[in-house]
Structure 1
């Protein structure tokens, strides 16, 4: 582990320098180990592609004490453990006004139907959350769907939009600017401050997109407006 301190209230741990499922697994193991320790003063632990940041209350602990704890942890021991993750199913209405860039994949030699088939029903790994609360950066995209971001980003993308940026797929929790290629949209709130949990997934979880038609999408929208919707979340175990 490479341990760095960039601020007075955080410690960053690096476990590599490349985006990979193996490193993500190591980071999840380390996060779980630290949370099990229930260290006084630690306020939040955040996973990124290759690192983990520990935020703490400077009036309760300090960087040196946290570094000393980290140095006692053997990553090889952690890798022998299993951990639980959630598989979160997200219904998506592809194409039309919901996915205006679906037709652009003819440059990849794919029809809209082939894009939907390749993109849906695949278990994507949540590498990290970023850009905005609830925006997942997902790995596991079929290489036939790799597509560079738009040359001219949109100034406004509707909340719930599902898209592809380069080698990754993800979705926008809020209306915002963005340059990803839009395939479809979900009516499920990806961030809800009145829901527990506010975000349905975290680093190490998996997301699977289920294709639905427009009638199902509008029905789900109504259920969301009435706060009478359900999201299928299944607990799984990873070795």
Structure 2
């Protein structure tokens, strides 16, 4: 892990892989909650963690360099969100072909996988979910759809994701849910936040 200054009041942690990102995300949130770290925002990405609103970045970087995060799955259990899912996505046969299996096996694998929110982006409330092994990564569509319905459950690369609102998108559609994922009146507005465990369960 490498720490770099960003502007006058921010730091960027360059991590080796998504597992290290999650470990540092959890450690930094814990340190902020205990008063050992002051930062307005701690934002994980694919292989980075951004700390913004840091009063003294140089001193904070020196402290962080001496910390060793616990493993991503250690410590107190994180929240689990169960997402009721109907597995009727039009791209299920395409995913099955990439996985060299059939559609029922794809659905079974998704049901059994414990996902975790790695980071959020693309659109408000859109969470990038990890949990599938690297060999099951799938390519995006060559030509994105002009409109993907809200609640669509989809796969792209090594990630799963759920569209919180209708938008263009090139992910492979495997299902849908009616669970609201973003509400500006809620605190926090996003239902899925970094570190949250997610299960795609059968809709009643």
TM-score by length of 2: 0.85
**Quick check: which has more Rg, 1 or 2?**
1
Taking a change above 3 Å as real, the CA distance of residues 26 and 5 of structure 1, as seen in their structure-2 partners, is: closer
User: 1:86 corresponds to which residue?
Assistant: 79
User: 1:75 corresponds to which residue?
Assistant: 67
User: 2:171 corresponds to which residue?
Assistant: 180
Q: CA RMSD in A?
A: 2.3
Equivalences, count: 200
User: 1:150 corresponds to which residue?
Assistant: 141
Identify which of 182, 199, 208 aligns with 2:199.
208
Identify which of 46, 51, 55 aligns with 1:54.
51
In structure 2, C-alpha distance between the alignment counterparts of 1:121 and 1:197, rounded to whole Å: 28
TM-score by length of 1: 0.74
State the shift of 1:17 in Å: 2.8
User: 1:100 corresponds to which residue?
Assistant: 90
In structure 1, C-alpha distance between the alignment counterparts of 2:134 and 2:40, rounded to whole Å: 38
State the shift of 1:106 in Å: 4.3
State the shift of 1:38 in Å: 7.1
State the shift of 1:26 in Å: 2.8
Measured against aligned partners, the alpha-carbon deviations of 1:181-239 in whole angstroms (never above 9, x if no partner) come to: 00011111111112233222322221110022xxx4xxxxxxxxxxxxxxxxxxxxxxx
Which ranges in structure 2 are unaligned for 5 or more consecutive residues? none
